[in-house]
Chains A and B, each alone.
Chain A
């Protein structure tokens, strides 16, 4: 998967799961989109489905500080690289 694939999937998840269209990648999710702890858990489940692999508890804890969609994409990219799922092109 490429960075473009990740961003496309995140946009699709935000549309499908959170009814948010054309999200601002740098907006604070909590302040701008009323994102809360429940949404964060739903998002992690969606990421697991996208990767097709379980995310470990330690990896999930790394997501606690995420505040923006760009950071979500960075987080997925890191997980994908660790699993040899990422291709830079």
Chain B
């Protein structure tokens, strides 16, 4: 049994805005969400990169004590977008609790803020009583599936739970695995996405790997610079994104507003180096992705590239895109607006792609002043284009050699 899978609700909290209007406005007006790294006592003084994709829009949470008590900052983000998606969907409470709705949601490592506090207590403890300052709920706030678990608890969702924690492919896997669950009849709907909170630990990790941008510390909005000849690395960011996937007939029958259709997903591994981008692995992702979705590469109008703005990553991705899709589809690097929102990036970039699809425009890659000639073989977007997008691909690649591609179609 193979069923059509449609998107019927979406919500995102991003460094360039919270909610559709703010995000679309930022994409149309070239607004960056990269800001100076906040100073804290632990890591920021030692990190070379001084910029961060920062969420600044106010968010009015109205969670009850019972909901809040197991939530770290990452779960606040996740539950907020999940709440909005369920409200937007119009799904009835009896369906939400029926077991026919599942959750696929993740973060890269739970709540680092809570984890950091546990270690602070642990290493600062002078007696046994001090250890008791570690809260009974700290594990629930910091476990890797804290986002998914808090969402199920908040809404009484009883279907399956998938909680990928595959770094930068976390939420593209969430959407992909959610798509497969609905497509093959395992669930009738899946709430999918990812979130990550403000965290300097992640910056320190990439900084140590010399993967972070450091040349634009005084001009944060000039970085990251995907495919640009002056790019010097990625910028870590925070945020959350969620989409609701439903079986088409069910969505149609209940009169849901169909925002788009997921028509393909592919995931593989490079089978080797855990960090370095791999041309063969990524090319295979795109190639087998189009084949398994039965999509002629020429039909793809727009590619949302992973495009983190690292030296080698962008070159390898441009080569892979050219090898599989040629120079026909427009290519945009949306992290140029938000920074790399880690576990959230796949969902956020899918949502931004859907916004562009629905509004009939393609945003340019920000800070792409001079294309690196080694990335020049693909069709970069340099300014806002009014152009219909019927079929888009969203690409994400992660440490550990994990690669994903999602195919999103305009619903008609």
Interface residues of A (CB under 8 A from B): 18-19, 34, 36, 38-39, 41-42, 45, 48-49, 54
Contact = CB atoms under 8 A, between A and B. Distances in A.
Contacts of A18: 65
A34 B137 contact: no
Contact of A38 (B70, B128, B129): B70
Contacts of B70: 38
Contacts, number: 20
8 contacts: A36-B66, A38-B69, A38-B70, A38-B137, A39-B69, A42-B135, A45-B132, A54-B129
B345 interface: no
Nearest to B66: A34
B65 A38 contact: no
Interface residue SS majority, chain A = helix
A18 B65 CA distance: 7
A42 B136 CA distance: 6
A22 to B, nearest CB: 16
B343 interface: no
A54 B135 contact: no
B13 interface: no
A48 B136 CA distance: 14
Candidate in B66, B70, B128 with the most chain A CB atoms within 10 angstroms = B66
A18 B140 CA distance: 17
Nearest to A45: B132
Contacts of B136: 38, 41-42, 45
Nearest to A37: B136
A42 B137 contact: yes
Interface string B115-159: 000000000000011001001110010000000000000000000
A38 B140 contact: yes
